């Protein structure tokens, strides 16, 4: 099963990144972002690309500037995730042939992102909008638009979000926090993929 789960490794270090990514991939989570407000994020991303580019989509989160997109393209990253909807960042990402997931909250932001070539929408912060809000957006967005619910989303409410129209999830602190052991991350990843599979197998 292709799971539309993006692991958000905020705060991870370049030293621990490969071991954490390995257990995520083993559990079935093969989209991994390192937010750029983490320590030495580009170093972490490069290490992950070197180790896992054949089996995972590796990229960055909290991408706010075109210059950051250019840096990611130079190290062969595959994915750019942002908390906001910046048309220049989206266009630069697509020009570099990377996946673009801008942050959106309103219908205007959603359509702006799609108009500039976004591959999917990061609904953020999802907990503020809620599944009912997503239902309203889904009613007007193209049916094929991938929407990732991010922020306050976890295994206990996957079914609510999928019922409202989410096609995937970005999972941060309920999967990884700085200082967590590899074993803890493995266990959480397994719980998350099991919950995801249970919802999408219905």
DSSP letter at 193? H
CA distances to 85, 99, 150, 168, 174 from 109, in Å: 6, 18, 15, 19, 27
- Give yes or no: 46 in active site: no
DSSP letter at 181? -
Catalytic residue (one of 22, 31, 46, 122): 122
Catalytic residue (one of 16, 22, 31, 33): 33
Please answer whether residues 36 and 8 qualify as being in contact, where contact means their C-beta atoms are separated by less than 8 angstroms: no
163 CB neighbour count, 10 Å cutoff: 13
List, in sequence order, the alpha helices (H) in the chain: 17-27, 41-52, 66-74, 87-95, 107-115, 126-138, 158-164, 182-200
Please answer whether residues 178 and 157 qualify as being in contact, where contact means their C-beta atoms are separated by less than 8 angstroms: no
71 CB neighbour count, 10 Å cutoff: 17
- Give yes or no: 33 in active site: yes
Q: Among all residues, which ones are annotated catalytic?
A: 33, 122
């Amino acid at each position: 099963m292709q799971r539309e789960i993006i692991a958000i490794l905020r705060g991870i270090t370049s030293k621990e990144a490969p071991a954490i990514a390995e257990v995520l991939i083993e559990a079935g989570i093969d989209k991994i972002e390192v937010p750029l407000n983490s320590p030495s994020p580009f170093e972490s991303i490069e290490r992950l690309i070197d180790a896992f580019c054949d089996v995972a989509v590796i990229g960055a989160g909290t991408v706010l500037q075109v210059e950051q997109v250019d840096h990611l393209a130079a190290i062969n990253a595959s994915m750019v995730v942002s908390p906001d909807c910046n048309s220049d960042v989206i266009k630069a990402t697509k020009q570099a042939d990377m996946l673009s997931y801008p942050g959106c909250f309103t219908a205007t932001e959603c359509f702006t992102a799609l108009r500039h070539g976004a591959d999917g929408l990061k609904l953020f912060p999802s907990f503020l909008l809620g599944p009912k809000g997503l239902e309203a957006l889904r009613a007007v967005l193209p049916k094929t638009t991938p929407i990732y619910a991010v922020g306050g989303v976890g295994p206990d409410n996957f079914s609510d979000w999928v019922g409202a129209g989410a096609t995937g999830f970005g999972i941060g602190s309920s999967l990884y926090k700085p200082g967590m052991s590899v074993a803890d991350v493995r266990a959480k990843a397994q719980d998350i993929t099991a919950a995801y599979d249970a919802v999408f197998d219905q």
